Amino acid sequence: MEKPNITAYMKPSCGWSNGVRAVMQKYDLPFEDRDIINDPSQRQEMIQKTGQMLQPCVEVNGNMLADVSGEEVEAYLLANSLVESTDREAGAPTNQPCENEMSESEISFR
């Protein structure tokens, strides 16, 4: 099976981004990891391609998946027969927010 051409626009350290990286490792997929925090030109390129500022954004064979989790990227890869299903575990949670993005259930009021 030919490996897809993948470019991922992500933060260096973020739950969502780490989930995408874990999916790439799970399926042994090479990909270009573009740092949108430390390289403003990469962030601008992502915004131009997607029309929005949320990340991760993953381009697979020219198709842009904007603001996705690793779980969503994995579902796309499987649905489009770009990878074969495996029992191998991902090395990180594939659907977890960045630490600074707490859900309402984690916020406490006094």
pTM above the 0.75 mark?
Answer: yes
Q: Whole-angstrom Cα distance, residue 106 to residue 108?
A: 6
User: Taking phi first (over 0 means left), then psi (-120 to 50 degrees means alpha), and beta for anything else, what does residue 89 get?
Assistant: beta
Per-residue pLDDT of the chain (110 residues; tens, 9 = 90+): 789 999 999 999 999 999 999 999 999 999 999 999 999 999 999 999 999 999 999 999 999 999 999 999 999 999 999 999 999 999 898 888 877 654 554 554 55
Supply the pLDDT for residue 73.
Answer: 97
CATH assignment of 6-95, among 3.40.50.2000, 3.40.50.970, 3.40.30.10, 1.10.3760.10? 3.40.30.10
